[in-house]
Structure 1
Amino acid sequence: MPFTGKTVIITGAGKGIGRACAQLMAGRGAQVVALSRTQADLDSLHDETGARGIAVDLTDAGAARAAMAQAGPADFLINSAGINVLESVLDMTETGYEAVLGINLRAALICCQEFARARVAAGGGGAIVNITSIAGHRGFQDHLCYAASKAGLEGATRVLAKELGPHGIRVNAIAPTITLTELAAEAWSDAAKSQPMMVRHPLNRFAEAEEVARAIALLLSDDSRMVSGAVLPVDGGFLAV
């Protein structure tokens, strides 16, 4: 149980990769503080894992800071909260931009800042993993704001690693491919849509949420204690070819 006695804050923990992280970290002994917009998801996660839930709309900067303060001191932070609004370059709206950048980038940076301030006040140490995407590395149709948010978070991850390293805080990111959460599985169930994308993966499949969670756990663990400022693709080789 490598995370026994440790506490992890997970944003976007109600569904998808965030929920898989909560399940995995709890299963490995961590105390999980789960942040999600939906109380029902937090309630079911608590019943399943014992996670302490905080309902928060991370698009509200003040609410995000208050939720991090309510979460209390923690050893780790996983920034999993994320959304997408599918709009082309010519159709981009201010509403879509604000929604995607507000959650995927600004909220993540606020959570990193509040986590880091608490860790420095406690004497340093700890680790952060930010979840980005292969969309920050390749151009996908209708993903303009999403790609900008994920590429921005990777750049911020390197700055965070540089500035927080002297305090013993490691910061890394993972860039998953299409991950078969419940929502994504439905979206990619049409073979005509999924097959052209799938064949670009040397492993010839998409990722499972638990596989992404395991990569995150690796970066949080002492097995990665010399890894900081890195972006780890969890993509079945997509970015390698």
Structure 2
Amino acid sequence: MEINFKGKRALVTGAGSGIGRALALKLAQCGATVLAIDLSSTALETLKQEIPNGEFAAVDISNWEATNTTLRKLLPIDLLVNNAGIAFTDPLESITQEQCDRIFAVNVKALINITKTVISDMVARKSPGAIVNISSQASKAALLNHSLYCATKGAVDAFTRAVALEFGPCNIRINCVNPTVVMTDLGRKIWSDPKMGGPMLAKIPLNRFAEIEDVVDGVLFLLSDKAQMITGSCVPIDGGFLAC
């Protein structure tokens, strides 16, 4: 199945590393003009060496006005992947106000702000578009000591469905993917330990964690014209974890 994004401008948040970086590279390979934002200017400089015709901007997306200023310089945008996110893994009694404010600012508030800006421009141009939010299986199943993270990803799922309903008549599709543990560099470091990963792996019928490419392939499909009848969906990329 060939996917071609030639002539499309695709924005990826958190594009400096991990899933975001892989998405940016694959979108470029599929012909899109890649627009990459990340907190780290150093990571973006490295990415720029591999995507010389892309457009790059370092910004803290939790800053509403700074993000809007950055996005206005990158418009128009046809495809959006809200990938940037953070996590805290603490028991409830240890959670601080600062942690709560920070994770909701990045995982929820920033995602809403970016989506609002991009969709407003799509509507003004009367242009169709596609958006994919990176959620998590943690929105559907409780994970120990992930209460804040679970809460933010539940909000992402609900927001995805609501916006899909609102903008479907404008031919703007919005979906999310809900991966299990993904073997990024950090994921591999944490979850390759049998004591940590073993209990989680035992709940996955396919008996493996997701690789970055598994998530990238799912996102590319949902962004593409191959998924023209799919909107408002939260697609598990979890090896069957949620089926159990």
- Same topology, TM > 0.5: yes
After TM superposition, the structure 1 = structure 2 runs for residues 92-111 of structure 1, keeping only pairs within 5 Å, are 92-111=95-114
Q: Which residue of 2 aligns with 1:54?
A: 57
Deviation by residue 1:69-123 (Cα, 9 ceiling, x = unmatched): 1221011000000001122111111111111111011100101000000100111
Separation (CA, whole Å) in 1 of partners of 2:125 and 2:182:
36
After TM superposition, the structure 1 = structure 2 runs for residues 69-218 of structure 1, keeping only pairs within 5 Å, are 69-218=72-221
Q: Which residue of 2 aligns with 1:5?
A: 7
Deviation by residue 1:114-165 (Cα, 9 ceiling, x = unmatched): 0000100111310100010001111111111111100001000011001111
Give the structure-1-normalised TM-score. 0.98
Give 1:193's aligned amino acid.
Answer: M
Separation (CA, whole Å) in 2 of partners of 1:47 and 1:73:
23
Q: Is the 8 A contact 2:190 2:196 kept in 1?
A: no
Separation (CA, whole Å) in 2 of partners of 1:67 and 1:201:
40
Separation (CA, whole Å) in 1 of partners of 2:51 and 2:188:
24
Runs of 4+ in 1 over 6 A off after TM superposition: none
Q: Is the 8 A contact 1:125 1:167 kept in 2?
A: yes
Measured after TM superposition, the shift of residue 193 of structure 1 is: 1.1
Separation (CA, whole Å) in 2 of partners of 1:94 and 1:62:
22
Separation (CA, whole Å) in 2 of partners of 1:121 and 1:63:
22
Separation (CA, whole Å) in 2 of partners of 1:108 and 1:178:
21
Q: What 5-or-longer segments of structure 2 have no aligned partner?
A: none
Separation (CA, whole Å) in 2 of partners of 1:34 and 1:210:
18
Measured after TM superposition, the shift of residue 176 of structure 1 is: 0.6
User: Of 21, 24, 48, which residue of structure 2 is paired with 1:22?
Assistant: 24
Percent identity at matched positions? Answer: 37
Deviation by residue 1:164-186 (Cα, 9 ceiling, x = unmatched): 11111000010011001111111
Separation (CA, whole Å) in 2 of partners of 1:232 and 1:81:
18
Q: Is the 8 A contact 1:24 1:210 kept in 2?
A: no
Q: Which residue of 1 aligns with 2:240?
A: 237
Q: Count the aligned residue pairs.
A: 241
Separation (CA, whole Å) in 1 of partners of 2:242 and 2:71:
34
Separation (CA, whole Å) in 2 of partners of 1:162 and 1:150:
19
| Further displaced range: 112-121 or 187-196 | 187-196
Question: Alpha carbon RMSD of aligned pairs, Å?
Answer: 1.0
Q: What 5-or-longer segments of structure 1 have no aligned partner?
A: none
